[in-house]
A and B are shown apart, each in its own frame.
Chain A
């Protein structure tokens, strides 16, 4: 149990941990990404800025340099013009000087100057190659120079030849020629000066722009650096924070990892233990499985050897057990059907044999629903063509928790029993019918008897009275004229009539007891007995009779009838003790098996016990009438009354010793029925 709970807890821990790692990753990722992106972006922007500033600076510098070159060029051109002009002047001057002086030293100067003119002239042409206007002016200058040079040459040459000094005209020519050269040179310089004046401000502007650009670039670079520093710092902060968080998380993670490791370790330990336990269990399982197999085989053979059909099904109605007897009785094996289809499949019917048995009332179906039930079912299907009566008892199957998990039904073939029952019922019906018939006959007979009794009481009494009356009148009125024999006959007629009257009255009394409806009430028997002794007093007139009367209980009975019982018994006692000089009559009672038994005993003539069964019969007498008068109805009446109360009466006696009469009084309807049967038994 503990093991199962531990292994269930660990995955839970794992899951939490992984969730948290995911969360860390989710938090970390944007930090790096943003950092990377921002840095990349900043560098791209900074690079572009620096490149463009560099490029612009480079261009400006380049342009400024170009401009400076142009200015220098202009200056060079102007220098060349100056030089050329100077050389020309030197040539002129030296030529004139030579012409005036004739000194050779001056000639050297002249030659040098002349060479200088040629050189500077060439350079001038080369320098101004890019400027067509100046070229054109050069075209003008060059002839002027050549003219000047030629004039100088001519002066030199003339000196050398005549050794004469140049006249004033020549000097004036020279001056003219020289002026022309100077003028052209002046034009060219002016042109260059103009160019210069144009180029210088542009160059200055370019230079300023360049400076500006450089300054701007520097500032931008510085700004970017600052920005970069700021950004980097920030990112560093962020990442530092991230690292801090990460550290915390890592710490937490480590803790968890540790916990997890511990948990895993304990789990591993538990698993090891569990594995061991499992091995033991497996061993036990194996053994119990073997035992189970043995049991199952045994159970199966037990089930199959049963005479009763046994079937069990789970709550879905799938049969778990269906023994051989079940198949034999039902004709079919276990159906792979839902419970609702069982009745239709096995063809089960209600006891009327034709109404299909309601499936939900089948004992097995009720058992699955948790009810215990028993039913008689008629089964008739192609496998049991004649039909089978079964008595099925279903009870629920419960699992160890007491929950109903199916049902089991046991059933047996009661076809024979049903046949017997039918036979018995038929016989019973016949018997019943005969009982009814017999009862009707008996009732009719009883009615006849009653009618007879009435007839006896009413119709027989009258003629008796007439016989008695007229014979009496005969004696009274004609007795003196009759001879003694005739008188004797008349006496015999009289006594016969009286006796018959008595018989009729007593028979009537017996009949009345039979028709009497019991009026049960608490009755004091002592007072009845006391009253009766007084009434019977005349019967024992002149005799010595000792009455021994015990304390009698108050009992539930019909007082009128019970009085009749005591009266008859006491009268008998007096009668049958008639020959005793000292008669003892005893009335007592005792408790026997919870029943009151009453007794009337005398020390009279008694009777032989072998005639005891005749005592209570109508007209049965054990003594000759000459000895003891009586009709033989008194004890029959006693018995009828006692039986009517559900009681019992019997007698014990011994000749010449005495007799004892015992009786009990049960009271009620059922005892009355019993008494009727008993009375019938006695009478038959």
Chain B
């Protein structure tokens, strides 16, 4: 797994949901490089290249962050806020996965700049469909924002 070709950062503390999501994503063959972090703090460390991820570079951001809101330590809303308020990370697409409509309303209410909100369906078939649609859009259809300066050129060049 090449960190430089990172496709998705999945922020999810529930192992079951993680497994289902990974299963769905792999089945559709949309993402090869998926990193899973289990809480908000780990997610922020990863994105801001610190702590256990200090060797990472801002030059290789994930193409998509799938963010669950209910997270230990730092909750999903805080993670979203920090991502979207820092110029180095704010161009990274973040899809917020909510468990309920209430949560979704809450996030929208804060204007935190999530790129999409999706409610995780109970039905696995629907869930799989959703994961497929999201992956297809953000990883294939959507043109990612250019990574700034030399880093961008280097990034592209290395690909």
Interface hub of A469, A472, A473, A497 (most chain B Cβ within 10 A): A469
Residue A461 at the chain B interface, CB threshold 8 Å: yes
Interface set, chain B 60-90, CB cutoff 8 A to A: 70
Q: Is the CB of A466 within 8 A of B100?
A: no
Interface set, chain B 11-36, CB cutoff 8 A to A: 14, 16-17, 20, 23
How far is A221 from B20 in the complex, measured between Cα atoms in Å?
Answer: 179
How far is A508 from B103 in the complex, measured between Cα atoms in Å?
Answer: 13
Q: Which of A462, A471, A501 contacts B99 (CB 8 A)?
A: A462
How far is A498 from B102 in the complex, measured between Cα atoms in Å?
Answer: 21
Residue A243 at the chain B interface, CB threshold 8 Å: no
Nearest Cβ on chain A to B87's Cβ, whole angstroms? 33
With a cutoff of 8 Å between Cβ atoms, the chain B residues found around residue A498 in the complex are 122-123
Q: Is the CB of A468 within 8 A of B123?
A: yes
Q: Is the CB of B124 within 8 A of A465?
A: yes
Q: Is the CB of B99 within 8 A of A464?
A: no
- Residue-wise, chain A 421-461 has the 8 Å CB interface mask toward B (1 for contact) of 00000000000000000000000000000000010011101
Nearest A residue to B69, CB-CB: A458
* Chain B, interface SS category: helix
Residue A512 at the chain B interface, CB threshold 8 Å: yes
With a cutoff of 8 Å between Cβ atoms, the chain B residues found around residue A457 in the complex are 99-102
Residue B58 at the chain A interface, CB threshold 8 Å: no
How far is A234 from B4 in the complex, measured between Cα atoms in Å?
Answer: 165
With a cutoff of 8 Å between Cβ atoms, the chain A residues found around residue B70 in the complex are 458
Nearest B residue to A515, CB-CB: B102
Residue B121 at the chain A interface, CB threshold 8 Å: yes
Interface set, chain A 487-519, CB cutoff 8 A to B: 497-498, 500-501, 504-505, 508, 512
Q: Is the CB of B122 within 8 A of A504?
A: yes
Q: Is the CB of B17 within 8 A of A462?
A: yes
Q: Is the CB of A454 within 8 A of B122?
A: no
Q: Is the CB of A464 within 8 A of B122?
A: yes
Nearest B residue to A468, CB-CB: B124
How far is A629 from B108 in the complex, measured between Cα atoms in Å?
Answer: 34
Nearest Cβ on chain A to B11's Cβ, whole angstroms? 15
- Residue-wise, chain B 113-131 has the 8 Å CB interface mask toward A (1 for contact) of 0000000111111010000
Q: Is the CB of A512 within 8 A of B120?
A: no
- Residue-wise, chain A 248-274 has the 8 Å CB interface mask toward B (1 for contact) of 000000000000000000000000000
Given contacts A466-B17, A469-B20, contact A461 B122 (CB under 8 A): yes
Q: Is the CB of A469 within 8 A of B124?
A: yes
Given contacts A462-B14, A462-B16, A462-B17, contact A468 B102 (CB under 8 A): no
- Residue-wise, chain A 377-394 has the 8 Å CB interface mask toward B (1 for contact) of 000000000000000000
How far is A163 from B20 in the complex, measured between Cα atoms in Å?
Answer: 256
Q: Which of A459, A468, A512 contacts B122 (CB 8 A)?
A: A468
With a cutoff of 8 Å between Cβ atoms, the chain B residues found around residue A472 in the complex are 124-125
Nearest Cβ on chain B to A381's Cβ, whole angstroms? 69
With a cutoff of 8 Å between Cβ atoms, the chain A residues found around residue B100 in the complex are 454, 457-458, 461, 508
With a cutoff of 8 Å between Cβ atoms, the chain B residues found around residue A464 in the complex are 122
Given contacts A457-B100, A458-B103, contact A501 B125 (CB under 8 A): no
Nearest Cβ on chain A to B155's Cβ, whole angstroms? 35
How far is A469 from B127 in the complex, measured between Cα atoms in Å?
Answer: 8
How far is A205 from B102 in the complex, measured between Cα atoms in Å?
Answer: 174
How far is A25 from B23 in the complex, measured between Cα atoms in Å?
Answer: 150
Nearest A residue to B119, CB-CB: A461
Q: Is the CB of A458 within 8 A of B99?
A: yes
29 A-B residue pairings within 8 Å (CB atoms): A458-B70, A458-B99, A458-B100, A458-B103, A461-B99, A461-B100, A461-B120, A462-B16, A462-B17, A462-B99, A463-B16, A465-B120, A465-B122, A465-B123, A465-B127, A466-B16, A466-B20, A468-B123, A469-B16, A469-B127, A470-B16, A473-B20, A473-B124, A498-B122, A501-B121, A504-B122, A508-B100, A512-B101, A512-B102
Give the top 5 A-B pairs by smallest Cβ distance, nearest first.
Answer: A501-B122, A469-B124, A457-B100, A466-B16, A458-B99
